[in-house]
Structure 1
Amino acid sequence: MRCPYCGSMDSQVKDSRPAEDGGAIRRRRICPDCSGRFTTFERVQLRELMVLKKSGRRVLFDRDKLARSVETALRKRPVDPERVERLIAGIVRQLEQSGEAEIASDTIGERVMEALKGLDDVAYVRFASVYRNFHGARDFGQLIDEIARADKAHGDGQDPQG
């Protein structure tokens, strides 16, 4: 594994342990050339996934990009990091098990929105505002009204009067 500090190709594993409920292996590494320490993760990859962008371009699926998007939506929200990792791993697993080699970016966005809706309403609205390209307050209002109607239909609406 290449050292991220000096570029040396000769790093050594100092510690390995299971991570993500056994879905990955976390490895602590050290570079013998610069003594830099860093962590890597090893995960099972069922297949190479390609993402079909709206522009028609095809790019290799990037789990880290998905994680950054989810983490941006969840910034400063009181959500346990383990729940976030399970959400991301679940989306990736769904995509890999779909049987498709190419996944439309819209499909990924919808899966993220659905997962965030069940995790945190604020993160869901944040992600939706970017994903659906909101232009103003009316767009936010419509989405919040949808959430309120869904909560009421499921009996989750709370009466502020007690």
Structure 2
Amino acid sequence: MRCPFCSHAETQVAETRESDEGDVVRRRRRCLGCDRRFTTYERAEIALPMVIKKDGARSEFDMTKPRASMMLALRKRPVSTEQVDAALERIQEQILAQNDREVPSSRIGELVMRELRKIDKVAYVRFASVYRSFEDIDEFRKLIKDI
């Protein structure tokens, strides 16, 4: 770690502490060049994949989009925020477990549908009716019958 005061390349860790949540490590360092102390923070960086949309455009993965879709489908349904957070965590874990640099938006939509089906059947039907954009009533009827 380079010293922010004198740019000396060698520093020594004097003290290390984890945050309360355990997701950040705070280190007090001492420069071996100028003997000044400074603090650094370390946090794990998760490389999320790029999302390939239906039209071929690419965008950064953003969990707020699946969250917004789920919350819309779950509107006025008896589902807790904790259940939604747990479902979104499972979705993110599955996407990261694939270890792909790119993921199609359709894959994310399918994962959201799978989680909604576990949580609330009405929300699942709401989401599927928009996501799959059914052409006729028979397709919609088949979806409901499968539940």
TM range (shorter): 0.5 to 0.7
Q: In structure 2, what is the equivalent of residue 91 of structure 1?
A: 91
Q: In structure 1, what is the equivalent of residue 130 of structure 2?
A: 130
Q: In structure 2, what is the equivalent of residue 119 of structure 1?
A: 119
Identify if the C-alpha distance between structure 1 residues 96 and 45 changes in structure 2 by more than 3 Å, giving closer, same or farther. Answer: farther
Identify if the C-alpha distance between structure 1 residues 102 and 118 changes in structure 2 by more than 3 Å, giving closer, same or farther. Answer: same
C-alpha deviations, 1:43-71, integer Å up to 9, x for none?
Answer: 96521320011111111111111100011
**One-letter code aligned to 2:118:** G
Q: In structure 2, what is the equivalent of residue 6 of structure 1?
A: none
Identify if the C-alpha distance between structure 1 residues 45 and 139 changes in structure 2 by more than 3 Å, giving closer, same or farther. Answer: farther
Identify if the C-alpha distance between structure 1 residues 69 and 17 changes in structure 2 by more than 3 Å, giving closer, same or farther. Answer: farther
User: How far apart are residue 135 of structure 1 and its match?
Assistant: 3.6
| Alignment gaps of 5+ in structure 2 | 1-18, 24-42
What RMSD, in angstroms, separates the aligned Cα atoms of the two structures? 2.2
Question: Residues of 1 paired with 2:139 and 2:95: CA distance?
Answer: 29
Q: In structure 2, what is the equivalent of residue 76 of structure 1?
A: 76
C-alpha deviations, 1:70-103, integer Å up to 9, x for none?
Answer: 1111100001110111001110121112100100
Q: Secondary structure at the match of 2:130?
A: helix
Q: Secondary structure at the match of 2:47?
A: coil
Question: Residues of 2 paired with 1:139 and 1:79: CA distance?
Answer: 27
Residue-pair matches, total: 110
TM-score (norm 2): 0.67
Larger Cα-atom Rg:
2
| Greater mean deviation of Cα atoms: 109-118 or 43-52 | 43-52
